[in-house]
Amino acid sequence: MSAASMFSAWLVRRLAVACLAIALVTAPAMATTIERVVSPGGIVAWLVHEPAVPLIAIDFSFAGGSAQDPAGKAGTASLVAALLDEGVGDFDSKAFHARLERKAIELGFQADRDALRGTLRTLAENREEAFEDLRLALTAPRFDPADVEIIRAQIISNLRRATTSPSEIASIRWWQTAFANHPYGHPVNGTLESVPTVSIDDLKAYAHRVLARDDLKVAVVGDIDAEAVKAMLDRVFGGLPARADLAVVADVLPQGIGRRIVTRLDVPQTVIMFGGLGISRQDPDFMAAYIVNHILGGGSFSSRLYQEVREKRGLAYSVHDSLVWLKHAPLFIGGTATRAERATETLDIVQKEIARLADNGPTADELAKAKSFLNGSFPLNLDTSGKIAALLVQLQVDNLGIDYFTRRSKMIDAVTLADARRVAKRLLGGGLLVTVVGRPDGLLSSSAE
């Protein structure tokens, strides 16, 4: 195929996917667009069948993540995720990678605190080989010693670099303080002390405990129909254990609220991370909290933090905050970076803006603009089949229902000014845990009040 033909095919696929994304968020009959498919073996997937796109994107999630790392062996989940697409079945790592590359099949895994997630991307014409590759990765990972040591060395190298990164240090200190003595307090990628202790037996045991069918979430987008998806589900996932063997993880509240922890590091910029208790995804107040978060600093140039910290004072290039809804702890987290001599001023402005929004809530104009932005920008988050598949998996994990797209704008529009002001107090009035890394002039650690 010529370069011009390849580009034309790529452009057609991109345009088709863009049209699909727009259709997903505007179609009046969403239930007919996203189909709930159940295989003969009882495995469920959400499907968006789009034959105009000659691609198939599959995203999936297993409950577990780094919260299931064995005691003292943080980083086990990340090691497993990094090794699942190495050697499998009869193929060593080199042979398996060559097999994937020959058909341009993209396969990947990653672990977060609550889940081990995976993705598969393939041309529709190569789907049978791609499905077999995914089956082997999930059911027959080899964990060959040479591959384990290569991946382990890569992770350790990254961990060593992180010891001089102010952003990494600020994040690690925040999570360790907020979730001391809880699995969420352990770094997802482990530590320099824990990663060397993870054995091949640990990796195999983790995979056997976590990779199971009972809490599996799957989304499929592209040129494949429901019957083919049913066959794929049983073929790929049917050989996994019926039930995971997960350790109980307790619900928890972030600790250290009111504390400021300053770590001295000789770097040009000072990094500030802040956060506290959030609002869970299933809470009736979540959508109001989502809007309030956007008004404060959720990614728009018009946000209060962006205006006060960057536009008016030039204290930082960026400042942000977000809602994080972990399975066992809802959070509100943000951060910024600034010059050492302006760190105290920057943190003061951030805290004052958070307190002001908590005390007074947003204005009617801010609420209207936030609603308009959140509704209007949503299709831009769905410009590829991969993004759509990832979102469909997350909707399943969050138990939001297959009709969420049709309800989303109505839920946003239903938030009143009184709701936003009440929830602003609830979300932002509980205090912050702050970690600071760098050479901040005049900024010292402080205990909770």
- Strand partners for 337: 271
Nearest Cα neighbor of 321 from 345, 303, 342, 348 is 303
The per-residue pLDDT for 365 is: 97
Same fold, 3-23+30-237 and 260-438: yes
Q: Are 421 and 343 in contact (CB under 8 A)?
A: no
Round to whole Å and give the CA distance between 107 and 303. Answer: 37
In angstroms, the CA 92 to CA 133 distance is 13
Angle in degrees, CA 96, 102, 104, rounded to 5: 100
Query: Global pTM?
Result: 0.89
Report DSSP state, residue 304.
H
**Selection from 217, 212, 180, 197 nearest residue 69 by Cα:** 197
Give the per-residue pLDDT at 9: 37
Q: Are 279 and 285 in contact (CB under 8 A)?
A: yes
Q: Assign domain 260-438 to its CATH superfamily.
A: Metalloenzyme, LuxS/M16 peptidase-like (3.30.830.10)
Would you list the domain boundaries of the chain?
Answer: 3-23+30-237, 260-438
Per-residue tens of pLDDT for the chain, all 449 residues? 334 433 333 343 444 444 444 444 433 333 348 999 999 999 999 999 999 889 999 999 999 999 999 999 999 999 999 999 999 999 999 999 999 999 999 999 999 999 999 999 999 999 999 999 999 999 999 999 999 999 999 999 999 999 999 999 999 999 999 999 999 999 999 999 999 999 999 999 999 999 999 999 999 999 999 999 999 999 999 999 999 999 999 999 999 999 999 999 999 999 999 999 999 999 999 999 999 999 999 876 889 999 999 999 999 999 999 999 999 999 999 999 999 999 999 999 999 999 999 999 999 999 999 999 999 988 887 888 999 999 999 999 999 999 999 999 999 999 999 999 999 999 999 999 999 999 999 899 998 65
Which has the closest alpha carbon to 321: 346, 350, 343, 288?
350
Write the CATH number of the domain with boundaries 3-23+30-237: 3.30.830.10
For residue 52 the two structure tokens come to 């105009």
**What Rg value do the Cα atoms of the chain yield, rounded?**
23
Return the residue matching tokens 């159940």. 38
CA distance 422 to 360: 9
Q: pLDDT by residue (tens digit) across 335-361?
A: 999 999 999 999 999 999 999 999 999
Q: Tell me, what DSSP letter sits at residue 307?
A: I
Q: Is 101 within 8 Å of 88 (Cβ atoms)?
A: no
